[in-house]
Amino acid sequence: MYQAPRGTIDILPDEQNYWRYVEQKAAGVCRLYGYQRIDTPAFEETGLFTRSVGQGTDIVEKEMYTFKDKGDNLITLRPEGTAPVCRAYLEHGMSNLPQPVKLFYFADIFRYERPQAGRLRQHHQFGCEAIGESDPSLDAEVIDMAWRFFASLGLRNLSLVLNSIGCRQCRPDYIRTLKDYYVKHAPELCPDCSTRLERNTLRLLDCKKPSCQKIADAAPRSADHLCPDCAAHFAGLQKYLQTLAIPYAINHRLVRGLDYYTRTVFEIQPEDAGGQSTIGGGGRYDDLIEELGGRPTPAIGFATGIERIILNLKKQSIAVPPLPIPRVYIACLGEAAREAGIRLGADLRKAGTGVIVAAGSRSLKAQLRQANSLAAQFAVILGEEEVRAGTAAVRNMATSEQQAVSLGELLSVILNEQGD
């Protein structure tokens, strides 16, 4: 027997109401903030990601699904959604539109990670990108949008952590200071951090090992090494977050795992959770569009993993509305009844009502049992004799009340009974 590949999940019908709930809330929030939907391909040229996410990152080094297609093109299944949106922004001349251009997406994302709860090899993200504006009020708006989105889902006890990692003017000096500090601590570092020291010093701050965390806590802080513009930007963002009454904490060790970030980085975390279960994160990427061949174009965005949201909805026992189900079940006994049932089913569907017409030749009892397990509101029972007499029985499945209705009135009786 085949099984779904390790780190992937089947989203079964039972789970679909969670997905619909999250997607509808996301689309609702996007409407409130003026974001338009974009869909990009599930795969791109590999270079797009190595260039943007960064050579020294875990994603590029260890996690990308990369292969040569039959045309010898080097292809990668998207390991994140920001670079493809920027590629589309450039490809379709969106810099000529009023800026910032605000886009959102639902996308499946592929990362070859070690699977565990909330960590998959194919997961799904809702993300948004606001491209073409550097004002810190836009950073605050994106964070506000993420924050309102989680609130609209009913999630509680989330926390927002924030940092500024500077720009290409001030960051090199900071990285030098950071490296000097870490070189002094080199013998105490874990093997991963020892290799990162040369290649991606900033990521040392992110190490989850307790011994490295102690060193990271005392490390020089990027927020203390910002140039005047970045410092003003970070102060502006904090002022607007206060205006919006969004509680935040500055975490000097927050650097995020993708190289394209500049200035603002942020994450939203559930209570009781370590960095492993961050439900959303994002930040500014002011150099990325230029890096991909466009004019200098500041931008900021955010993404959240839908599987992790659903884990938290369940953990917090948040009730999610059920999906609509067919409300009428037509039980048929005999060929004449089946024909009448098929006709009635077609008429009800034309009137917009969901119907299941029983197929096969099960007993009436078995058909009613099925109507019950499908949670139909009404069963219409058509037997040979009823059809000959021009009637049918309409059974309210909740109360088991049953009434005889003439076939001519059946449609209007059911439509009235349903109240829709």
Q: Please report how close the Cβ of residue 325 comes to ligand HAM at its closest, in angstroms.
A: 29
Q: Considering CB under 6 A, how many residues would be counted as binding ligand HAM?
A: 27
Q: Is residue 302 within the footprint of ligand HAM (CB under 6 A)?
A: yes
Q: Decide: is 139 part of the binding site for ligand HAM (CB under 6 A).
A: no
Cα(309)–Cα(118) distance, integer angstroms: 9
User: Which residue, 129 or 386, is less far from ligand HAM as judged by CB?
Assistant: 129
The minimum distance between CB 80 and ligand HAM, in angstroms, equals 4
Neighbours of 420 (CB within 10 A): 9
| Shortest Å distance, C-beta 18 to ligand HAM | 15
Binding span for ligand HAM by CB under 6 A among 147-155, 188-196, 301-309, 315-323: 301-309
Q: Is 259 a binder of ligand HAM (CB under 6 A)?
A: no
Helix (H) or strand (E) holding 338: helix 335-350
Piece of the chain touching ligand HAM by CB under 6 A; list 18-26, 277-285, 332-340, 402-410? 277-285
Burial 232-266 (b: 16+ CB within 10 A, else e): ebbeebbebbeeeebebeebbbbbbbbbbbbbbbb
Query: Taking contact as CB under 6 A, which single stretch among the options 33-41, 96-104, 151-159, 296-304 is the one that binds ligand HAM?
Result: 296-304
Report if residue 269 touches ligand HAM, rule: CB under 6 A. no
320 in Cβ contact with 153 (< 8 Å) = no
Amino acid type, 142: V
Query: Which residues are within 8 A (CB) of 1 and not within 5 positions of it... i.e. 6 or more apart?
Result: none
Residue 123 sits in the site that holds ligand HAM (CB under 6 A): yes
Question: What is the C-alpha to C-alpha distance for residues 378 and 372, in angstroms, rounded to an integer?
Answer: 9
Among 120, 197, 387, 394, binds ligand HAM (CB under 6 A): 120
Residue 271 region by backbone torsions, left for phi larger than 0, else alpha for psi between -120 and 50, else beta: beta
Binding positions for ligand HAM, 308-367, rule CB under 6 A: 308
Q: Are 265 and 162 in contact (CB under 8 A)?
A: yes
Q: Is 283 in the site for ligand HAM (CB under 6 A)?
A: yes
Binder among 54, 84, 280, 341 for ligand HAM (CB under 6 A): 280
Which CB sits closer to ligand HAM, 120 or 332?
Answer: 120
Q: Is 5 helix (H, G, I), strand (E, B) or coil?
A: coil
Backbone angles phi, psi at 49, to 5 degrees: -85, -40
Q: Is 270 in the site for ligand HAM (CB under 6 A)?
A: no
Q: Should residue 118 be labelled a site residue for ligand HAM when binding is judged by CB under 6 A?
A: yes
Q: Are 254 and 276 in contact (CB under 8 A)?
A: no
User: Site residues (CB under 6 A) for ligand HAM?
Assistant: 80-82, 111, 113, 118-120, 123, 125, 127, 129, 257-258, 278-283, 301-305, 307-308
